[in-house]
Amino acid sequence: MCAIDGMGGVGKTSLAVHLAQRLAGRFPDAQLYLDLHAHTAGTRPMSPTAALDKLLRALDIPGERIPADLDDRAGLWRAEVARRRAVLVLDNAADAGQVRPLLPGAAGSFVLITARRRLVGLEAADSFSPLMCCQAVTRSRFSRRSWARTGPAPSRPPPRR
C-alpha cells in the first residue's frame, strides 16, 4: 500500500494512475480506480458503504449479492479481492476512516491512495509526496527498467490556473 499526499494540483492523481498502469502486468486480474470525492465541490466525500458498492460492482458482483451492512459488505470485498491480483487506486481520500474498510485484507493486491492531507492512522501505508515517490520509484530496479523504456522522468506539473 502506498499513500501519496500533497496539496491540490501537485500531481497525485497523475502519479497514482501512472504507477497503477505500470503495475498492471503484476496485478493482471483487476485494475480499479475509485474517486472518493474528498474535495469535489457540491459533493460529500463518498461513504465507505457506497465505495464498497462501487468496488464490488466493478468486480462484476451482482447487486443482489452485495450486503447492506457495512461490515458484511467489507467482508465480501476482502474475500473477492483475496481471490485476485488487483491494483486499486483510491483517489481523493478524506481520511483513514473512509479508506480503512476498503483495504484488502490479504497480500497479493496493491493499493495506491491519494489525499491532500496525510492519512493519520493508516498504519500500514507508506506515505509519499509525489516528488518523493518519483525519487523512490526511480531508484528501484522496476523503475530503472520502466524509465529506460519510456525516457526521462516526467517534468514537474505546470502551475495551476
Ligand X SMILES: Nc1ncnc2c1ncn2[C@@H]1O[C@H](COP(=O)(O)OP(=O)(O)OP(=O)(O)O)[C@@H](O)[C@H]1O
Residues making contact with ligand X (CB under 6 A): 6, 8-14, 92, 114, 116, 154-155, 157
Q: Indicate the residue among 24 and 131 with the shorter CB distance to ligand X.
A: 131
Minimal distance in Å, beta carbon 70 to ligand X? 26
- Mapped onto helix, strand or coil, the DSSP state of residue 60 is coil
Q: For Mg ion, which residue of 11, 13, 36, 88 counts as binding (CB under 5 A)?
A: 13
- What span, in angstroms and rounded, lies between the C-alpha atoms of 77 and 35? 17
Q: Indicate the residue among 35 and 80 with the shorter CB distance to ligand X.
A: 35
Coarse DSSP helix, strand, coil percentages of the chain, rounded to the nearest 5 percent: 40, 15, 45
Binding partner of residue 157 among ligand X, Mg ion, none, CB cut-off 5 to 8 Å per kind: ligand X
Q: Indicate the residue among 32 and 81 with the shorter CB distance to ligand X.
A: 32
Buried b (16+ CB within 10 A) or exposed e, 147-160: eeeeeeeeeeeeee
